[in-house]
Structure 1
Amino acid sequence: MNVSANNHLASFAQLVKNSTERFAALPAHVQWDIYGTLRPNHYICKNERQLMAYNALFANQHFAKLIDLFDFVFGRFIKLEKITALQNTTKPISVIDYGCGQGLASMVLQEFNREHQLGYQFEELILIEPSALALKEAVKHNAMYYTHIKQQCSKFDKLTANDLLTQHHVTVHLLSNVLDLPNIDV
């Protein structure tokens, strides 16, 4: 692992650390009130305290699931399925993060790429999220990772084909926050 990978890895850890410290500093009854508003996969964050609480309470769990997923996909799956577009490519790659929340999956993808020295050039990111507040955070969290970020503040049923147009031949689709939604059929 190189120094730049360590710097990038620290950013996710720092995000969680900052959120955890801020959440822990709140009175217990306020923490419980905020926690009571969080219903993973069934809500749209409406205030900054919800975003902070999500990071403090769930981001590390989300991180672990993503690392397991990326280990599988960028390890065995590409070879088993002979996905040539992702084998030894040096071409730029687009990423679409559906229901991105605060953009944690997009962030972890880049950190995983650097930590494992995979060499993928994830350059373009399309963030899709119905919460304008969470989308704003997603853009901020991913600004240092992607050269081009496009944002769509929208629910899935309002997306058009043009909203999903990418600049590059290869696109990675991240659906980590939407697969459990009751109204999503993949």
Structure 2
Amino acid sequence: MRFIDGIYKPCVEKCKNIQDIPSVLSILDNGKAVLDDNRKCDRYIAFYGGHHFHKLYAAFASTNFRYTESKDIEIIDWGCGQGLATCVLIDYLIDNNINPNIVSVTLIEPSLIALNRGNNFTRQMLQSTSSSRCTIRKVNKYIDDLTANDLASEMGTIKVHLFSNIIDVEAFSLNDLHRLILASFQGSNRLICTSPDSNGKYRLDDFSDLFSQSCQLVNSASSDLPIYQEVFYFKNKQYERCRIGRCERQFTVNLT
């Protein structure tokens, strides 16, 4: 796995000898902090990157991405952090021999340091694909500060919206986000929303309900079941199979 070997494990190696784990988790605000230096970025990936990978990989399996074969797609990664969701999606497509033409990736993130790292990681992952001319757009904003002008899109493309560990964050308006998507993305839109546990379930359900009230949802999928996969366990300083909680909601809407 390119993400595991090229992004996750190098950060684990940098951080694996950390002793004061509670202090690190507090600084990272249990994964919710806006990261302001490279050390925190490395630690975020080391502590949470494996969970991100397995949770997203399981979610992507619920979307039949075969329909994107040889078609133009746009990836929009909301609250992207270091672009981990985009990187895992690219990895998933490569591993499953699915070859869309990724025409653009839009990375939206308030931390400029994390955003620049996400840009670099995305370029690193794209090197293994045929989408060499993909445009990467960096939008250095909080979600509530976005306008339609920040979100360039083409009507004829398939849009894949990634919301990884962001919809459950209560710092922004779901209603405003819903209106922004309706105003900015014509055509086919696949929205994939994941949360680390059931605590954010109501926000994912509320977000889905907003679209079901304004559009017809198709190819919906959901799961609240945990998965069991191997990640680095800092307490024991080794990779172990562990329980990864998750909440997943995804659906497609065609916007005119």
| Alignment TM-score, normalising by the size of structure 2 | 0.60
The equivalent position to 1:104 in structure 2, one of 73, 84, 97, is 84
Structure 2 gap ranges (5+): 175-206, 208-256
Tell me the equivalent position of 1:120: 100
Q: Alignment RMSD, CA only?
A: 2.0
Shift of residue 42, structure 1, vs aligned partner: 3.1
CA distance in 2, matches of 1:44, 1:128: 13
CA contact (8 A) 1:34 1:49 kept: no
The size of the alignment, in residue pairs, is 166
Distance 1:171 1:36, change over 3 A: same
Structure 1 gap ranges (5+): 1-8, 76-85
Tell me the equivalent position of 1:80: none
Tell me the equivalent position of 1:4: none
CA distance in 2, matches of 1:74, 1:130: 31
CA distance in 1, matches of 2:53, 2:4: 9
Q: Quick check: 1:49 aligned with 2:29?
A: no
**Structure richer in helix, relative to its length:** 1
Distance 1:130 1:110, change over 3 A: same
Letter in 2 for 1:111: D
Tell me the equivalent position of 2:58: 68
Tell me the equivalent position of 1:175: 163
Q: Quick check: 1:19 aligned with 2:7?
A: no
The equivalent position to 1:163 in structure 2, one of 150, 153, 169, is 150
Identity of aligned residues (%): 27
CA distance in 2, matches of 1:53, 1:71: 28
CA contact (8 A) 2:73 2:101 kept: yes
CA distance in 1, matches of 2:8, 2:67: 32
Find the residue that maps to 1:73 and give its secondary structure: coil
Find the residue that maps to 1:143 and give its secondary structure: helix
Which of 112-121 and 127-136 deviates more?
112-121
> Per-residue displacement from partner, 1:30-89 (whole Å, max 9, x unpaired)?
x543332112453201121211111111101110110111000126xxxxxxxxxx7254
Which of 101-110 and 11-20 deviates more?
11-20
| Alignment TM-score, normalising by the size of structure 1 | 0.80
CA distance in 2, matches of 1:13, 1:128: 25
CA contact (8 A) 1:97 1:125 kept: yes
Shift of residue 14, structure 1, vs aligned partner: 2.5
Distance 1:41 1:74, change over 3 A: farther
Tell me the equivalent position of 1:81: none
CA distance in 2, matches of 1:88, 1:149: 19
